[in-house]
A and B are shown apart, each in its own frame.
Chain A
């Protein structure tokens, strides 16, 4: 009995440390819930996200809070499990009476937690779940990252407008929805822009030998390759393509983003391009300010997940401010009306299907490092470029800076 009491008290303690409670009286704060994988296999996802949100919270509270009150973030650990996500979101809403929820990273967990938010009519923003189904749960669920399919579109625009290539071959993983999604939308957009997809070849999850496909593609003489896959195989494909005598640029998506890519692909990756959510090399002053503050607070460089979490929190705060009250329905409507919000991961507008309409960045790989190339807006030509490409007029550049 006594032991149980102690255990209970301990638990209370740990919840409090996670709260980042800035004001003691809970009645005077605006309570927002956050659920994430702080421990478990995907712990780095949750930790990065928590740091991003924490920084946003600190900034808003220093600036006087929201509606005259301080913002309180109540953090719950999902241990990376969907069933746990359901439980903690229920707790956040029923016990802690949060007015809105932030989380999760993994789409599976956002689907589980999102269902609870939808049922209880509490608005939720996921910073980084890219699966299309997440926002289809219902009208309470939003996201601030782009959807998988959008990346394909972005790369197609980059290939057609900046690289100015006309004939592209695709090599994709037929067993992965991510890879197929990117590939299909790339094909659609690229054809619309007047390009030609000369071949679509496939590989499988466990393949290490891509010589048959690459030999075939080499014979067709593409001007670029599009390989929407994950980093391990992407690195190997780049290596084997160069060995095979294919020298054209290879393009990929955020699935390439890992140190392992460079370990495996090495020099073969020079001159390859990927689409991603954000880059620390982005010269934009807001992005650089975010990176500096983040480094000062946590002593590390923010990754894409931290940046997305920061943006999610800021959009949430901005929406509450615009709603002018803590009424959940008013907040939901305000989130839905988010338009041209300037975040560190781009200018974000919440679209009709509650997905973020925003730009993606294109990065060039050079000697094991990413070089910021340009950011691509969803419905226009490239809007910003570090290089003075002839296609980019100063006028268009100004749009990007705004």
Chain B
């Protein structure tokens, strides 16, 4: 039982990271109907911005302040990168078919990955210790590290904040309008370019937050780190119902727990098989994903 609970906690931590990245995927998709394949690479950039920020500032003592500072710089930097990508890669092709945008997204993803290898080098780097990790004993032999708790709290917090922004603010209303019908939104006087740019900035900032938390937890970063995890987060978003914010978190958690349970009780060789098997099964039963429905208003 203790073993099971420990694995469950491991799964929730892993799932929360998927959820954080899936949030950005799902939001951009909700507004633009664009699967932003470069999202996982913005996650990677966020980690590297954090790496260089921490090193330039010469942070030697881990502290909560250091973590918040590094995370803020990284989120701002990645938001800027998101804006640049949107302005120069996606906006020019927005008027063409969706396939064009999709191919552009793949191109941006490859560009970021290989540019990063060129600039940062392909060798994995060790992420500086900006946050002191500690083990907290829950009961019996079941432990959780404080950075794991942080990951879970941040992902829940960001999910709630996103929901508030999307459903309670005027900006959110505009986002939903753009999502519903871009041309009509434009006719109603909504600055759609601004709304779309804002969506990208927000999504990229979320990816950067995930990048920092991931790096604090796993301590290693490299230019291709966003590749597989981006794909998994995409699966999580689809699983939960792409375009649905709560669904992204649910999908992420489900995927994380499933992977850990398969690794813990069967074999890690099969974990991806199970992850994608779940995806296929869910999509057969509920094609729109767990929380998605064709009629529901998406963001």
A residues with CB within 8 A of B: 174, 201-204, 206-209, 211-213, 215-216, 218-219, 232, 235-236, 239-240, 243-245, 260, 263-264, 266
Contacts and interface: CB of A to CB of B under 8 A. Distances in A.
B62 to A, nearest CB: 13
A209 B218 contact: yes
A215 B6 contact: yes
A44 to B, nearest CB: 13
Contacts of B10: 209, 211-212, 215
Contacts of B117: none
Interface string B1-44: 01100110011011000000000000000000000000000000
Nearest to B214: A208
Interface residues of B, number: 31
Given A211-B13, A215-B264, A216-B7, 4 more contacts: A212-B259, A219-B3, A235-B220, A245-B135
B207 to A, nearest CB: 17
A266 B126 contact: yes
A260 B124 CA distance: 8
Interface in B170-198: none
B228 A206 contact: yes
Contacts of B268: 174, 201-204, 207, 212-213
A203 B264 CA distance: 11
A236 B269 contact: no
B100 interface: no
Nearest to B5: A215
Contact of A245 (B143, B263, B269): B143
Given A212-B10, A213-B268, A239 B219 contact: yes
A233 to B, nearest CB: 9
Nearest to B261: A212
Interface string B219-233: 110100100100000
B264 A208 contact: no
Given A203-B268, A204-B268, A211-B14, A264 B124 contact: yes
B125 interface: yes
Interface in B129-171: 133, 135, 141, 143, 145
Contact of A209 (B6, B7, B14, B126): B14
Nearest to B126: A263
Contacts of B261: 212
B123 interface: yes
Contacts of A245: 135, 143
Contacts of B219: 236, 239, 264
Contacts of A213: 263-264, 268
A212 B260 contact: yes
A255 to B, nearest CB: 14
Given A213-B263, A215-B264, A264-B220, A243 B145 contact: yes
Contacts of A235: 126, 220
B4 to A, nearest CB: 10
- The listed residue with most B CB atoms (<10 A of its CB), out of A201, A203, A243, A245, is A243
Q: Nearest 10 CB-CB pairs, A to B?
A: A212-B263, A263-B126, A212-B264, A211-B10, A212-B260, A264-B126, A208-B218, A232-B124, A215-B6, A219-B3
Contacts of A204: 268-269
A188 B206 CA distance: 49
